[in-house]
Structure 1
Amino acid sequence: MKHNILYSFRRCPYAIRARWALLNTNQVVELREVELKNKPIELIQISKKATVPVLKTSLNKVIDESLEIMIWSIKKSNRDELFGNINNNNENSKEIFSLIETNDTVFKYHLDRFKYASRFNFEESATHHDACMKILLSLNNRLKEFSNKGKPLFLVDAKETLADWAVWPFVRQFRIADIKKFDQNNEIKYLRSWLNYFFTHKKYPIVMKKFEPWSKLNEPIFFGKTGSESF
């Protein structure tokens, strides 16, 4: 194999953040949109989990964790500043990975039980909503502090980092559950501005473009070319 292959699903927040990192670090992949109810055998054969996203690199390395795909793409592009610093043991780097861990464990746990309440315990959906809001308010307060100092609205040290890239697709998913309520909530106005940075980014429509489920009979779709993406 001479190129990277990404198995993806358009709406999955894990897949969104993997595509975002790949696109913003100019890593070209063959994009294979997966139909979750009918997963291709090629995906199942390379990943025991067979959950998107899965990256098979041109060197036949399989990476089946979205955060690891992001880290791989950043390292490939020598964008170490996105880790907070070249030295990953500094305080900013610890803060970045702490925010991501909270998002991927605590926030995601409550998000699923709020957004998909019918699959869990509907009577507890309000409790899970409030748990999500507690985390979102803490993010909002971080951004508010930077805003008061006239600094850019990013989560760590007012600089765009892996934390921003890894978290925003999940905040997007929370918003989708009740868009009107989210957009009118002034308690999180700084967070809304932060999320809007990604929504209005020129690469957002590329990352969120719809594709038909992949078939080996179709022509490959290459995603992430610098300048003009090949679709």
Structure 2
Amino acid sequence: MTSLTYPILYSIPRCPYAMRARFSLLLADKTVILRNINLKQKPQEMLAASAKGTVPVLYFPSNQQVIDESLDIMLWALHCHDEDNYLRASAPEQLKAILDLIEHCDSTFIPQLEHYRASARYHDPDTVQARTQCEVFIQTLEERLNHQPYLLDDKLSLMDFALLPFIRQFSQTEKPWFRAAPYPHLRHWLELLYQHPVYSQALKPFAQWHQATDDVIFNRES
């Protein structure tokens, strides 16, 4: 099989949405061509596939299909192959609970997180208030983890990997504060996810893609 038959993932190493995509592709044991890009120099190939101009973008050369939302990429990958039952296929009510919490994260927590990170970056006096708004969601996660090691139950699910990049950002915004904050279960959850093999593999550095460079094959073996 040549590399041209693989889907192409346009990505940025530290983008949390792109992390979601890479996590799921690794969990589902899917092989893609990875193209790390610079948003200040967006490749025309990516813009031709998806006019939104942001990552992740998963493009299928074989039929010109495009998936350009991180959660949709996660669901596509795991619907293809979900050996460890991250989607809880036999329990529709659990999948609904997974998707409901992810939707709440995306619609409510992430905008609050972006405001908090911007406030902290510029030493805005509004930082504490912005952080407090984020903590409403953080406290719900801490309560969940008070009873189980992972966000849904005692086994990893899509919920954990979809939220991880954003909780990671929250934890790193004011590191000394987070280390002392009353969220021991959330800190433990982060450490468990950081130790998962997929985490280090998804964050493995690859050079920025240019047309003249060779394709980077991204999978469990890379």
**Structure 2 unaligned residues grouped into runs of 5+:** none
Separation in 2 of the partners of 1:136 and 1:65?
24
For 2:121 and 2:171, the matched residues in 1 are separated by 19
Match of 2:102 in 1: 100
Structure 2 residue aligned with 1:166: 162
Structure-2 separation of matches of 1:199 and 1:159? 15
Counterpart check, 1:180 vs 2:176: yes
Letter in 2 for 1:30: I
Cα distance per residue 1:125-176 (max 9 Å; x no partner): 3222111112111101111022xxxxxx111132211111100110001112
Secondary structure of 1:55's counterpart equals: strand
TM-fit CA distance, 1:8: 0.3
Structure 1 residue aligned with 2:67: 63
1:116 maps to amino acid? A
What number of residue pairs does the alignment pair up? 218
Q: Distance in 1 between matches of 2:180 and 2:120?
A: 25
Residues 1:99 and 1:54: Cα distance change in structure 2 (over 3 Å):
same
What does residue 150 of structure 1 align with?
none
Equivalent in 20, 36, 46 of residue 43 of structure 1: 46
TM-score by length of 1: 0.88
1:17-166 matched pairs, under 5 angstroms: 17-57=20-60, 58-79=62-83, 81-88=85-92, 90=93, 92-117=94-119, 122-146=124-148, 153-166=149-162
- Counterpart amino acid of residue 111 in structure 2: Y
Offset at 1:189? Answer: 0.6
On the 8 A contact 1:111/1:132 being kept in 2, the answer is yes
Structure 1 residue ranges without an equivalent (≥5): 147-152
The CA deviation at 1:79 is: 4.4
**How well do the aligned residues superpose, as a CA RMSD in angstroms?**
2.0
Question: Match for residue 15 of structure 2?
Answer: 12
CA contact (8 A) 1:47 1:64 kept: yes
Deviations 1:34-93 (A, max 9, x none): 1011111111111010110000124321000000000000011144832233353x2x22
Contact 1:113 1:121 in 2 (8 A): no
Q: Which of 187-196 and 201-210 deviates more?
A: 201-210
Matches of 2:55 and 2:109 in 1, distance apart? 19
Identity of aligned residues (%): 34
- Report the equivalent of 2:195: 200
What's the TM-score once normalised by structure 2's chain length? 0.91
Q: Residues 119 and 176 (structure 1 numbering): CA distance in 2 closer, same or farther, change over 3 Å? A: closer
